[in-house]
Amino acid sequence: MALFNLFGKKKKEFKATCKITKEPLEHGFGYLLTTAQIVSSKKYWDLIMTEPETLSYTISHFDNQPMGTKMRHMIFEKYASIAKPWMVSDSAINYFEVDKAEARSQAKKWWESEGAYAPDTAGPAAQKLDDATFNLAKDYAVLEAGRERISA
Using DSSP, state whether 10 is helix, strand or coil: strand
Residue 122 has what pLDDT?
A: 97
Assess whether pLDDT exceeds 50 at residue 21: yes
**Residues in a beta bridge with 86:** 33
Residue 10 has what pLDDT?
A: 64
- Average pLDDT over the chain reads 93
Give the contacts of 145 (CB within 8 A, at least 6 positions apart).
Answer: 42, 45, 46, 48, 49, 50, 58, 72
Query: Cα–Cα distance between 109 and 91 in angstroms, integer?
Result: 21
